[in-house]
Structure 1
Amino acid sequence: MIADYTEAAVCHVDDLADGQLKEVQVGDTDVLLARADGQFYALHPKCTHYQGPLAKGLLNGHRLVCPWHNACFDVRDGHRLEAPALNGLPTHEVRIENDQVFVRLTTNKESLENPMVTPDPTNGETYVIVGGGGAATFAAEGLREGGFTGKITVLTESQERPYDRPNCSKDYLQGEAPDEWMPLRTEEFYQDYGIDIRTNQRVASLDPTTKQIELASGETLTYDKALVCTGGQPNLLPDVDVNMQGVYTLRTLHDSQRLRELGQSGKRVVVVGSSFIGLEGAMSMHKLGCEVDVVSPEPVPFSKTLGEKIGRLMQGWHEKEGIRFHLGCKVAQVEGNDAVKAVLLDNGQRLPADLVLLGLGVHPKTDFLKSIPLEKDGGVKTDAYLKLADDLYAAGDIAHYPTPDGSERIEHWKVAGVQGYVAGLNMAGREQPYHEVPFFWTNQLGKRINYVGHADHFDDIIYDGDPQTDESFLAFYVQENQIKAAAGLKRDQDIIAIRELMQAGRMPSVDEVRQGVNWLDRLKEV
């Protein structure tokens, strides 16, 4: 009899120790082999987010973490544990014969989605999600994964179903990512799981005392439970008419599409602000063929977050490509009647411009909330379960959540996704506190810097490697004699290990870090 499957011996039992990963081949198929607690597992070798090489990631217990954006999977069944990946990993059968490990290709494509329930028509409850970003997507799936079978309605101002927002300032803006890459899920997916995505819906008010949501159209919805995850609204320049032809922000897919179309003709672009999005936008517009000037009051980009050394390094990457910086200055005036002609700086310099891109960060979009106290920055304060009020939850850019160091609010895609997922599970009846260590990444001219933890200020920075001379490095941010955050270039496994140690409350002391730590060995210690 001829076998109707493909199987191969891929290694000896003693070739892999616990915690090790190895990419092997079964026939013409690449497979990731992993060993945890003495058991072997075989999975798809690429992250389902951006196809990151998982063999270069890290295995901590049963947690398999991608090196690129720290998506996390359960190595035992391939299920997705953490954003930014939505899908899990296909798995294969493994058997041991004598001292050899055999893998049989048995990929089940249906295993890509975490197990979720389908709607029950007899369940009359309605849960509403206000917002259409990453937090909303993961929340809807968290509700179904948590067992909620009632009606799920997602209200988004966007014209599109939830999409990959981080790509709007990177490959998509550069014209290197097709439109079909951008949606997070297909329309069929939402139909299959009874998730009603209502686009072009602006919420005028939400009142937790009456559990009513009023839309700008005049329609009123009543909810049993709701999640608010409306994200951020771009900051604008005072006295500058954002409706002037040639003045743009970069927040939405529509923004990215419009800038991509305009940038292809080789315009003169002035980017106001040296934020991560601002410089990613500058990079992308330059790749489209534009002349780009960056204006910022900061003397060094990113110095408040990453420190001056790394800030100067990143500035140098952009300058090497021809992007010009005007630092320590502010915009005095945007010249032009109906359309932008130039940007006048407060030092008297005049920059000719066809387009002005505002990269000034965002503020929480919460003005529609009634009877909910707002924080100074416009955000809202939740408890450890991301609950905002009775039957009302919050997640993502707007949420101040409790940590051992006090309340924190983080603006990043992975954080929003994980918070949305936890909020969805809790709305479905789980009691799961949110206590994840933050992670974010930025891609500047093909170089990815990963950052873990949170330091709103720092007293010192400890470097492992020199950002000025080395191809790779780590930077540790010290606040009150504790390591509160770390950033790394080409140190992906170390960054994963640091985050896992932070998560477990096992970070080494400042003195130990100064002396040097082998992060992979430290993670293995019990």
Structure 2
Amino acid sequence: MIADYSEAAVCHVDDLTDGELKEVRVNDTDVLLARVDGQYFALHPKCSHYNGPLAKGLLNGHRLVCPWHNACFDVRNGYRLEAPALNGLPTHEVRIEGDQVFVRLTTNKESIENPLSAPDEANSETYVIIGSGGAGAFAAEGMREGGFTGKIVMLTESREAPYDRPNCSKDYLQGKAPDEWMSLRSDEFYKDYGIDVRTNQHVTSLNPATKQIGLASGETLDYDKALICPGGAPNSLPNLATNLMGVYMLRSLHDSQKLRELGQAGKRVVIIGSSFIGLEGAMSLRKLGSEVNVVGLEKVPFEKILGEKIGRVIQGWHEKEGIQFHLGRKIDRLEGNDHVTAVLLDNGERLPADFVLLGLGVKPKTDFLEGVSLEKDGGVKTDEYLQIATDLYAAGDVAHYPVADGTQRIEHWKVAGQQGHVAGLNMAGKEEPYRMVPFFWSNQQGKRINYIGHATKTDDIIYDGDPEEGDSFLALYVQDGQIKAAAGLKRDQDIIAIRELMQENKMPSVDAVRNGIKWINELLKS
């Protein structure tokens, strides 16, 4: 009888120690092998988010963390544990025979969905999600994963169902990512799981007392539970003629499409704001052939979050590609009649412009809320379960959530996705506190910088590797006598390990860190 499966011996039982990962081959198929507590597991070797090489990630107990964007999976069943991955990983059968470890291939799939409940017409409850960004997308699936079988309605101002917004400033803007890459899920997926995505919907009011949502169309929608995750509204330049034609934001898929068209025409662009999005936009438009000038209030890009040394290094990467900087400068005015023609700086310098891109950050989009107290920045305060009032939850850019020393609000894709997932689970009846250490990544001229933690101010920076000399470094940010954050280039495993230590409250003292960082992986194993 001919076997209808593929199986092969991949290693000896003692070849891997607990916590080790290794990519192996079973006939013509790559497989990731992981050992935890003396037991072997076999999974698909690429992250379901963007095919990051998981063998270069890190295993902490049963948690497998991707090196690129810190998606997290359970090696025992392949389930996705954390954003930004939506899907889990296929697993394969493992058996031990003598001193050999055998892997039997059990699937040809590259990803799997976490188990989700099907909608039940007998359940009359309605949960409403306001927003279709990362938080909204993960929340809808969190509700089904948590066992909710009622009606789910997602209201979004966008013309599209949830899509991969971070790519709007990167490969998609550069014309390297096709449209089909951008959707997070197919229309069939949302139909199968009873998730009613309503596009082009502007929410004008939400009243927690009456549990009613008002729409610009005049429709009123009743809810049993609701999640607000509308994201942020881009900041504009006060007292300047930003209503001129040729002034753009980079917040949506359509913004990216329009900017891509202009960039391909080799136009002159002035980018106002030297933020991560601003410089990712500068990078992408320059790659398209545009002449790019960047204006920023800061004397060094990213000085507040990454420090002056790393900021200057990043600025140098962009200058090498022909991007010009005008830093420590304010905008005096935009010139033009109907269409912008130039940007005049406060020092009298005039920058000709065929178009202008504003990259000035965002503010929480919460003006539709009634009877809900807002924070100074327009956000809303949640409890540890992301609840802000009875049957009302918040996630993503608008949420101030509790941490050990107060509250914080984070505008990162992974944070929004994971908050949405947790909020969705809790709306379905779970009681899962949100306690994830923040993480974000940025692509600056083809170099991915990963950042973990959150520091509101920096008292000192401890470096391992000189950012100005080598192509790899780790920076640890000290605030009030503690390491609050870390950034790294080509130090993926170290960043993951620091994140896991922060999650488990195992971070060592600043003095211990100054003696060297060889402690990272050892502490994680202890």
Q: TM-score range by the shorter chain?
A: over 0.9
Task: Compute the displacement of 1:199 (Å).
Answer: 0.3
Count of aligned positions: 526
CA contact under 8 A between 1:169 and 1:250: conserved in structure 2?
Answer: yes
CA contact under 8 A between 1:494 and 1:519: conserved in structure 2?
Answer: no
SS in 2 for 1:334: strand
- Structure 2's unaligned 5+ residue stretches are none
Larger deviation, residues 238-247 vs 357-366: 238-247
SS in 1 for 2:340: coil
For 1:368 and 1:409, locate their aligned partners in 2 and report how far apart those are by CA, in whole Å: 19
Aligned to 2:202: 202
Larger deviation, residues 9-18 vs 240-249: 240-249
SS in 2 for 1:500: helix
CA contact under 8 A between 2:340 and 2:354: conserved in structure 1?
Answer: yes
Deviations 1:257-278 (A, max 9, x none): 0100111100000000000000
SS in 2 for 1:443: strand
SS in 2 for 1:292: strand
Task: Compute the displacement of 1:239 (Å).
Answer: 2.4
Would the alpha carbon gap of residues 524 and 273 (structure 1) be closer, same or farther in structure 2, given more than 3 Å must change?
closer
Deviations 1:394-420 (A, max 9, x none): 000000000001110000000000000
Aligned to 1:374: 374
SS in 2 for 1:301: coil
Percent sequence identity is 76
Task: Compute the displacement of 1:520 (Å).
Answer: 4.5
Aligned to 1:86: 86
Deviations 1:270-289 (A, max 9, x none): 00000000000000000010
SS in 1 for 2:14: helix
CA contact under 8 A between 2:44 and 2:110: conserved in structure 1?
Answer: no
**Would you say 1:141 and 2:146 are equivalent positions?**
no
Task: Compute the displacement of 1:108 (Å).
Answer: 6.4
Task: Compute the displacement of 1:205 (Å).
Answer: 0.5
SS in 1 for 2:401: strand
Give the letter for the 2:12 counterpart.
H
Kindly report which structure 2 residues correspond to 1:58-457, keeping only aligned pairs within 5 A, or say none. Answer: 58-107=58-107, 109=109, 112-457=112-457
Aligned to 1:493: 493
Would the alpha carbon gap of residues 520 and 477 (structure 1) be closer, same or farther in structure 2, given more than 3 Å must change?
closer
CA contact under 8 A between 1:91 and 1:108: conserved in structure 2?
Answer: no
**Which consecutive segments of 4 or more residues in structure 1 shift more than 6 A?**
none
Task: Compute the displacement of 1:458 (Å).
Answer: 1.1
For 1:446 and 1:518, locate their aligned partners in 2 and report how far apart those are by CA, in whole Å: 28
For 2:239 and 2:280, locate their aligned partners in 1 and report how far apart those are by CA, in whole Å: 25
SS in 1 for 2:163: coil
Task: Compute the displacement of 1:517 (Å).
Answer: 2.3
For 1:4 and 1:390, locate their aligned partners in 2 and report how far apart those are by CA, in whole Å: 55
SS in 1 for 2:279: helix
Give the letter for the 2:11 counterpart.
C
Would the alpha carbon gap of residues 495 and 260 (structure 1) be closer, same or farther in structure 2, given more than 3 Å must change?
same
For 1:80 and 1:178, locate their aligned partners in 2 and report how far apart those are by CA, in whole Å: 25
Give the letter for the 1:65 counterpart.
V
Would the alpha carbon gap of residues 436 and 495 (structure 1) be closer, same or farther in structure 2, given more than 3 Å must change?
same
Give the letter for the 1:125 counterpart.
E
For 2:433 and 2:210, locate their aligned partners in 1 and report how far apart those are by CA, in whole Å: 26
CA contact under 8 A between 2:501 and 2:524: conserved in structure 1?
Answer: no
SS in 1 for 2:265: coil
Deviations 1:369-391 (A, max 9, x none): 11111101110000110001000
Deviations 1:147-203 (A, max 9, x none): 000000000000000000000000000000000000000000001100000000000
Task: Compute the displacement of 1:518 (Å).
Answer: 1.6
Q: TM-score, normalised by structure 2?
A: 0.99
Pairwise CA RMSD of aligned residues? 1.0
Task: Compute the displacement of 1:111 (Å).
Answer: 6.8
Deviations 1:127-151 (A, max 9, x none): 0000010100100000000000000
For 2:390 and 2:519, locate their aligned partners in 1 and report how far apart those are by CA, in whole Å: 43
Task: Compute the displacement of 1:524 (Å).
Answer: 3.8
For 2:157 and 2:194, locate their aligned partners in 1 and report how far apart those are by CA, in whole Å: 20
Give the letter for the 1:53 counterpart.
P
Task: Compute the displacement of 1:244 (Å).
Answer: 1.6
Q: TM-score, normalised by structure 1?
A: 0.99
For 1:474 and 1:251, locate their aligned partners in 2 and report how far apart those are by CA, in whole Å: 30
Give the letter for the 1:138 counterpart.
F
Task: Compute the displacement of 1:110 (Å).
Answer: 9.7
Task: Compute the displacement of 1:109 (Å).
Answer: 3.9
SS in 2 for 1:401: strand
SS in 2 for 1:305: helix
